[in-house]
Structure 1
């Protein structure tokens, strides 16, 4: 590590702290990536020594993730913060809840009763409640089936973490959701310079042979699009799909075809813009899961 990196100023971090970060959680970063990571950490106020922020390098690209401790601290810094609670519901628990209508006309969840004894049985759900002065408690309630897909993830380590530490991972997942929504936390785990795609929309079936041919490095380049807005958007979407395949570590045409067939099940001879957009959102979800895994893995270590 260069002397310039070792002496880079960073708020309350000492020179030795920076060396420690460089040699531990940032050991896979090159010098430029390390500078960028530390710059993001400084700008956001997240302390890497306290595991509030973590760098991850995949396929030569830097991704930055924010840990659960940072979510909690930022929520505490928000005006009106009154704390939070998170609980798992087991199949032997007594659990009742209902909705009530606030003065502004919006509904919110109310936990009527949650009591338990032992043995509690398997986890069947859970909830996280964020409390903010002047507002009804914000409650995230989730059935266990909503997170079971993490245990079936194609990302090996993610599957391992959610299988071996399911209760901890489930509670952190719900807590993040509650805090982000209740206190307007806007930071996200995305690559520097990227934007977060819109919400998921289910794609439809299409023939992906031609699409894979166009994305493969050794294949012919894409034909020039028609001089209209729709064609320009379609070309941009195809390039974005290729980029996301690289982020997922999928480079072979056969692997691309298998991924598209499994997750999009498209139809038609040539994919429409709407169909590609739907697949891009699914790919973003897979990338986000991979990034979240890196953060949660650090938190459990």
Structure 2
């Protein structure tokens, strides 16, 4: 997509989102939305402060109905912004691990569950459970314990890339799942996935089109409406291919053999030529890998281990 064909969704840009970001959102995670659904999704994202570019919020359309889903990253950020945040612990439990869970009582008589000991033996065996504990100053720890059977339905999901993510990256997804529940309980984060009526009236939310040049400030330019056409499938695929190459490069994957190995290692099969939906799915997986690499824990982190 050329700069002169960028669509400007007036009022959708917020925070550090540029107009190009909004168009990328529209053509990737927002591809399944019609114009009304996408406007509503972006309005909800803006009002909640969740940034789609940072994987904090997603739109999903099921049988024509829009559902808003909040990501793990949004829960972590909001928890860190909350008063008294003291971090968290989140772990997978394997079949050869030994975990001792007990009940404690604080000096105020409040009872809570705590992991008293977690011994690891190698080989660890298969993942059988996970737990997360969120800590807050002056409040008892909030634990969440889950067995694998409780999330098995997510591995069979037909929602977007959910099945792929849970199948290929089960451990990481399981930890994020239990942690989100723990943070929600400890900090009162009410960001449940929600199905919304696309006919809802969203005040002050209108789409306008502009013609811009590469050096023009697209957020403060003119608002004169033009007859710019929607991008063609060929243009959308070209944009996705360009985005895909940038993400591979960011991961240090710069040759065709390395790319083919990455696809094989992650059970990704592409048509020849790749379809638009296949490229969208691949870009989402690359985003997850980039996010994982950029947020690897250190010995001083209280992040995922």
1:146 to 133, 142, 150: 150
RMSD value over aligned CA atoms? 2.8
What is residue 167 of structure 1 aligned with on the other side?
171
What is residue 66 of structure 1 aligned with on the other side?
70
Is 1:93 the equivalent of 2:75? no
Is 1:136 the equivalent of 2:133? no
Separation in 2, partners of 1:75, 1:38: 22
What is residue 112 of structure 2 aligned with on the other side?
108
- Which is richer in helix? 1
Is 1:14 the equivalent of 2:18? yes
**Secondary structure in structure 2 of the residue aligned to 1:79:** coil
Q: How many equivalent pairs are there?
A: 200
Separation in 2, partners of 1:159, 1:145: 15
- Aligned-pair CA distance for 1:76: 0.7
Contact 2:6-2:20 at 8 Å conserved across structures: no
Where relative contact order (Cα < 8 A, 6+ residues apart) is larger, the structure is 2
What is residue 49 of structure 2 aligned with on the other side?
45
Separation in 1, partners of 2:141, 2:178: 14
- Aligned-pair CA distance for 1:159: 4.8
Q: TM-score, normalised by structure 2?
A: 0.58
Contact 2:154-2:166 at 8 Å conserved across structures: yes
- Aligned-pair CA distance for 1:155: 6.6
What is residue 26 of structure 1 aligned with on the other side?
30
Q: TM-score, normalised by structure 1?
A: 0.59
What is residue 183 of structure 1 aligned with on the other side?
187
- Aligned-pair CA distance for 1:147: 2.5
Separation in 2, partners of 1:92, 1:131: 27
Contact 1:7-1:15 at 8 Å conserved across structures: no
Contact 2:128-2:147 at 8 Å conserved across structures: yes
Give unmatched runs, 5+ long, in structure 2: 199-280, 290-305
**Secondary structure in structure 2 of the residue aligned to 1:136:** strand
Give unmatched runs, 5+ long, in structure 1: 195-293
**Secondary structure in structure 1 of the residue aligned to 2:125:** coil
Per-residue CA deviation, residues 57-84 of structure 1 (Å, 9 max, x unaligned), is 2222221111110010011111011111
**Secondary structure in structure 1 of the residue aligned to 2:113:** strand
- Aligned-pair CA distance for 1:2: 8.1
Separation in 2, partners of 1:8, 1:43: 10
Contact 1:6-1:15 at 8 Å conserved across structures: no
Specify whether residues 58 and 49 from structure 1 end up closer, same or farther in structure 2 by C-alpha distance, changes over 3 A only: same
What is residue 275 of structure 2 aligned with on the other side?
none
- Aligned-pair CA distance for 1:53: 0.8
